């Protein structure tokens, strides 16, 4: 940090009031920061949990604040909601808001997250077509489901599959349309893709893979069908687009901060960008990730929280925390999935447990060392796998595959 103020006194401005920002603010005060903190968020809501938006749909469950609104007041944090930041003036060390205000900073933290990747197809702007990122999106989706509609889900990623599970549990119809030859092609092993496809199909979801969506057709401005690349038309009463997310890195781009090859603000183990006065945390970043060659982008709560801790260390001039093994979770029907490490082709997969019972773990080994674990309803296997990945601990595949042998006895 280049400011004259010492760590605990620095004037911190945060752009984006989501998960990374709320974690950062809480941790920063907890670690003894006493300087000014200003949190600027374009959404109208206080920071809230996004994971329930694709998992639970009752009114009370959707609105889950990360911190009660009074927390920010008690902690002396100035929160400006509905306030979009439109420019970073690095020379003056100020941000400019849409309402024309200029706010100076000693440390600027970019926590602008990511937004749903738009569907490049005609008709994507019809009524009844939407993505899922915000509370408002989730409320619209819940309405569609309550009206017992047939939901076409474009994209068989985690969000699409979670929503499909909710739709079927509510008794509405779900059709998942995935361009790749399997669901979760980018992030899960073929084994897990197959297990989940079977589970969804058994619950009545239609899962179609290898199909591209080229158009959405409607009547009177409202979606009625999805057109596939072979001309087939799928009837629907609403369509959810879940084809990934792109980082909200325009502010960084406009002020020439270094960005990664596929976007995202490049940061180090202190969440520092190429400007020492600007940090970046959460989905908007691109960084070295344990288990990945080169730079990668993680979009998960554990990653946002880890980077919030790194940014706190940067502000307070304390040592950077140890890098964590990446992990995240997903809930689909009764399956509580937890995944650690980076799933890549070419590993040996050892299965422990039985997918038919709903409790299993797939350990990915390279040269006998776990590099990833995909687990369902198997917390001990997940915990052990995550620990082994972080420590590079070799295991015996035969013993690991035998649920009768304790996990600790599978370590070589
Ligand atoms: C439906 C859904 C389900 C998910 N489920 C899981 C899960 O089960 N497990 C998991 O680990 N992760 C899950 N995630 C991912 C997780 O929610 C994100 O990784 C996390 O929210 C990232 O935090 P963030 O602060 O970087 O971004 P966000 O939480 O998106 O917050 C960024 C905020 O910045 C605001 N902003 C952007 N630009 C500006 C600007 N110029 N000025 C002011 N404000 C701005 C945005 O409007 C937004 O409010 C899920 C995400 C979604 C959408």
Q: What is the pLDDT of residues 185-237, one digit of tens each?
A: 999 999 999 999 999 999 999 999 999 999 999 999 999 999 999 999 999 99
In CATH, what number is assigned to the domain containing residue 162?
3.50.50.60
Mean predicted confidence (pLDDT) in 290-297: 90
Atom of ligand 1 nearest to the CA of 281: 26
Residue 18 sits in the same domain as residue 102: yes
Q: Which residue has the CA at smallest separation from atom 29 of ligand 1?
A: 18
The per-residue pLDDT of the chain, averaged, comes to 95
In CATH, what number is assigned to the domain containing residue 372?
3.30.390.30
Q: Kindly report, residue by residue over 12-32, the tens digit of the pLDDT.
A: 999 999 999 999 999 999 999
Cα dist from 304 to 19, 22, 286, whole Å: 7, 10, 12
Say if 329 falls within a structural domain: no
- The best mutation among 112, 132, 159, 164 to test binding of ligand 1, ranked by most ligand atoms within 8 Å of the C-beta, falls on 112
Residue 102 sits in the same domain as residue 134: no
Residue 148 sits in the same domain as residue 184: yes
User: Does the Cβ of 41 fall within 6 Å of ligand 1?
Assistant: yes
Residue 250 sits in the same domain as residue 398: no
In this predicted structure, the answer to whether residue 56 has a pLDDT above a threshold of 80 is no
Work out the percent of the chain whose per-residue pLDDT is above 90. 92
pLDDT for residue 146: 86
Residue 21 sits in the same domain as residue 106: yes
Say if 363 falls within a structural domain: yes
Q: Which of 209, 228, 243 is where one domain is finished?
A: 243
Q: Which of 183, 214, 243 is where one domain is finished?
A: 243
Work out the percent of the chain whose per-residue pLDDT is above 70. 98
pLDDT for residue 2: 53
In this predicted structure, the answer to whether residue 74 has a pLDDT above a threshold of 70 is yes
Token pair of 305 as six digits = 């929280």
pLDDT band at 1 (very low <50, low <70, confident <90, very high): low
The candidate with the shortest Cα–Cα distance to 252, out of 287, 276, 289, 278, is 278
pLDDT for residue 63: 83
Say if 398 falls within a structural domain: yes
Cα dist from 145 to 6, 126, 134, 166, whole Å: 52, 18, 17, 9
Q: Which residue has the CA at smallest separation from atom 7 of ligand 1?
A: 51
Residue 217 sits in the same domain as residue 156: yes
Atom of ligand 1 nearest to the CA of 22: 25
Residue 68 sits in the same domain as residue 94: yes
Say if 231 falls within a structural domain: yes
Mean predicted confidence (pLDDT) in 91-115: 97
Look at 90-99, 138-147, 333-342, 371-380 and tell me which has the smallest mean pLDDT: 138-147
Mean predicted confidence (pLDDT) in 165-192: 95
Say if 52 falls within a structural domain: yes
Say if 327 falls within a structural domain: no
Surface-to-core class of residue 241, CB atoms within 10 Å of its CB (0-12 exposed, 13-18 middle, 19+ buried):
buried
> Residue 79 belongs to what domain range?
7-115+246-316
Contact yes or no for 14/37 (Cβ under 8 A): yes
Say if 328 falls within a structural domain: no
Residue 227 sits in the same domain as residue 370: no
Our count of domains for the chain comes to 3
Q: Kindly report, residue by residue over 235-268, the tens digit of the pLDDT.
A: 999 999 999 999 999 999 999 999 999 899 999 9
pLDDT for residue 89: 98
Residue 149 sits in the same domain as residue 229: yes
User: Does the Cβ of 298 fall within 6 Å of ligand 1?
Assistant: no
Q: Kindly report, residue by residue over 123-168, the tens digit of the pLDDT.
A: 999 999 999 999 999 999 998 888 878 999 999 999 999 999 999 9
Could you give the angle at which helices 19-30 and 301-316 cross, rounded to 10 degrees?
Answer: 40
Starting at the edge strand that comes first in sequence, how are the strands of the sheet with 238-241 ordered? 129-130, 238-241, 150-154, 173-178, 206-209
In this predicted structure, the answer to whether residue 58 has a pLDDT above a threshold of 60 is no
Residue 255 sits in the same domain as residue 184: no
Q: Kindly report, residue by residue over 312-357, the tens digit of the pLDDT.
A: 999 999 999 999 999 999 999 999 999 999 999 999 999 999 999 9
pLDDT for residue 60: 61
Residue 140 sits in the same domain as residue 227: yes
Residue 134 sits in the same domain as residue 232: yes
User: Does the Cβ of 20 fall within 6 Å of ligand 1?
Assistant: yes
Q: Which of 204, 225, 243 is where one domain is finished?
A: 243
pLDDT for residue 149: 82
Say if 261 falls within a structural domain: yes
pLDDT for residue 166: 93
- The best mutation among 13, 15, 19 to test binding of ligand 1, ranked by most ligand atoms within 8 Å of the C-beta, falls on 19
The radius of gyration of the chain from alpha carbons, rounded to an integer in Å, stands at 22
């Amino acid at each position: 940090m280049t400011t004259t103020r010492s760590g605990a006194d620095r004037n911190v401005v945060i752009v984006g009031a989501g998960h990374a920002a709320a974690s950062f603010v809480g941790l920063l005060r907890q670690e003894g920061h006493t300087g000014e903190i200003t949190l600027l968020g374009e959404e109208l809501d206080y920071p809230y949990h996004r994971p329930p938006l694709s998992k639970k749909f009752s009114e009370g469950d959707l609105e889950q604040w990360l911190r009660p609104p009074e927390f920010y007041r008690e902690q002396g944090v100035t929160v400006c909601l509905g306030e979009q930041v439109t420019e970073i003036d690095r020379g003056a060390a100020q941000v400019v808001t849409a309402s024309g205000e200029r706010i100076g900073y000693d440390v600027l933290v970019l926590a602008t997250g990511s937004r749903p990747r738009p569907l490049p197809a005609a008709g994507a702007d019809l009524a009844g077509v939407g993505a899922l990122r915000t509370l408002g999106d989730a409320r619209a989706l819940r309405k569609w489901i309550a009206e017992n509609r047939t939901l076409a889900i474009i994209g068989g990623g985690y969000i699409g599959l979670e929503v499909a599970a909710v739709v079927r549990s509510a008794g509405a119809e779900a059709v998942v349309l995935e361009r790749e030859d399997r669901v979760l092609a980018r992030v899960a092993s073929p084994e897990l893709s197959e297990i989940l496809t079977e589970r969804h199909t058994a619950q009545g979801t239609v899962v179609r893979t290898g199909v591209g969506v080229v158009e959405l057709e409607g009547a009177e401005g409202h979606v009625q069908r999805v057109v596939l690349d072979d001309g087939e038309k799928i009837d629907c009463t609403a369509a959810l687009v879940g084809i990934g997310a792109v980082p909200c890195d325009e502010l960084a781009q406009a002020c020439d901060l270094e960005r990664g090859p596929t976007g995202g603000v490049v940061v180090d183990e202190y969440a520092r960008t190429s400007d020492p006065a600007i940090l970046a945390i959460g989905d908007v970043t691109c960084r070295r990730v344990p288990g990945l060659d080169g730079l990668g982008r993680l979009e998960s709560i554990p990653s946002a929280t880890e980077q919030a801790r790194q940014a706190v260390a940067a502000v307070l001039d304390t040592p950077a925390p140890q890098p964590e093994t990446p992990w995240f979770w997903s809930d689909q029907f009764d399956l509580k999935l937890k995944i650690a490490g980076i799933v890549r082709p070419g590993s040996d997969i050892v299965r422990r447990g039985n997918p038919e019972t709903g409790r299993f773990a797939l350990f990915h080994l390279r040269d006998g060392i776990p590099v990833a674990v995909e687990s369902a309803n198997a917390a001990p296997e997940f915990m052990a796998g995550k620990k082994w990945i972080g420590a590079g601990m070799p295991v015996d595949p035969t013993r690991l595959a035998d649920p009768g042998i304790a996990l600790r006895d599978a370590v070589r």
